[in-house]
Amino acid sequence: MKKITVIGTGYVGLVSGACFSEIGNRVICCDVDARKIDMLKKGGIPIYEPGLDALVAKNAERGNLLFTTEVGEAIEASDIIYIAVGTPMSETGEADMRYVMSAAKKIGEHLNGYKIIVNKSTVPVGTGELVREVVQANKRNPWTQFDVVSNPEFLREGSAINDCMNMDRAVIGSDSEAARETIAELHAPFRTRIFKTDLESAEMIKYAANTFLATKISFINAIANICERVGANVTDVAEGMGLDSRIGSKFLQAGIGYGGSCFPKDTYALAHISDKAGYDFELLKSVIRTNQRQRLIILDKLRSTLGSLAGKQIAVLGLAFKPDTDDMRYAPALTIIPELLKQGAIVTAFDPIATETAKRELPEGVHYCESLEQAVTGADVCVVLTEWQDVRQMDLALLKKRMRHPLIIDGRNCFPLSAMQEQGIQYHSIGRRSVHAAEADRQSANF
């Protein structure tokens, strides 16, 4: 059993801490946010992640998982210190390192013996050395030793527990072989592939992986835009591409672009890193521009089908950036809904999880609904922004009856074209031909 402190109780810190405790370690999760810690002590969870509440409750009851605002005491009581604080994007596009540096300073002030300091947060290349300098400058005893490790996370919101308990690889970077081996041993119960490297390479691996996946998304979206113009079906194109073992099918689903806490922040950060290094990463900048433009396609499709949006009721289905999370960071809804309101539309919105988050992030004027059926009742058009199961499995016949006009603009390609033809619904998706009103009516009459 290892004694671990995790600084930060966001997605990465809380999930990692809970999973480390599940495999038999003693874990203290600490945070300067007293509200979060109080909630966790009372059995609540400050974020939405499927299965996390049960995992936290189980290990808190076992005594393996503790919560505190006393960060210094937690550091002194542990041998391995994970830094899992936020690194939000600053106005310049680079990662904001204030919280990482604050955590490093606190560690230095409470370094009461040899400890391994592990960066779990996504940080620019060179952060490990900065953490080392800050800890060294703030430690009370100049002879106290420590090592710094980079162990980047690869958790997907909505499936983070499974990604941690069944991780496909653990990247461990350090200039200390002993520290690398200790962190490798910590991951042994996960039965994962261990990849050991130096500190800087480990830091770069996280950015490289995320920006490559973001590139795949922007690439298939660019292909989708061509498909619409030439009459091809991007779903078939992506499937045909994915059959090539060198390419694979993952992250080739066309839509309105990526969002969330990782891809936008990490692509901007790597672009900033490359600029500072004197390299113009034009490919990555194109990926970012493509993603920014992609969500505006929804607005173009709305204007081309409805003309003026003033006074039109638009039902927006899905507010979170992806299913199974309440995270709205860089979600398409944050771009699209304010523009709809600005153009005079009446917005009725439904999301099974993210409504409370949306109320804090979106401007006033949105009518939040408790059910999908309520949101679409009387609507002139239905816009799909998040592919929740509730949306994928919705009763299309009922939707058609409830709406003023049977018109769907689908930013996530949730439905086969044949289903819309059968129901007589006018349907516009991404990278596929549209099912127009006249065609839909003809097809509906044949069933």
Sheet of strand 169-173, all strands in order from the earlier edge strand to the far edge:
65-68, 26-30, 3-7, 80-83, 115-119, 146-150, 169-173, 193-197
- 426 near 437, Cβ under 8 Å? yes
Helices (H), 125-262: 127-138, 160-165, 177-187, 199-230, 234-242
Q: Which residues are annotated as a binding site?
A: 31, 36, 87, 122, 154-157, 206, 251-255, 259, 265, 322, 329
Pick the closest to residue 179 from 209, 155, 146 (CA basis): 146
CA distances to 297, 327, 390, 447 from 403, in Å? 23, 28, 17, 21
* Residue 438: its H or E element: helix 437-445
Sheet of strand 367-368, all strands in order from the earlier edge strand to the far edge:
367-368, 346-350, 313-317, 381-384, 407-410, 426-428
Complete DSSP assignment for 233-282: -HHHHHHHHHTSTTT-STT---SS---SSSHHHHHHHHHHHHHHTT---H
Cβ contacts of 48 within 8 Å, gap of 6 or more: 325, 326, 327, 353, 354
Q: Which residues are annotated as a binding site for NAD(+)?
A: 31, 36, 87, 122, 157, 265, 329
Q: How far is CA 205 from the centre of its chain?
A: 18
User: Is 414 a residue of the active site?
Assistant: no
Catalytic residue, chosen from 29, 227, 262, 382, is 262
Q: How big is the CA angle at 35 (ends 29 and 40), to the nearest 5 degrees? A: 45
Q: Considering Cα of 200, then 203, then 206, then 208, what sign does the dihedral take?
A: negative
CA distances to 8, 253, 378, 382, 429 from 312, in Å? 44, 30, 10, 11, 20
Q: Which residues does the annotation mark as catalytic? A: 262
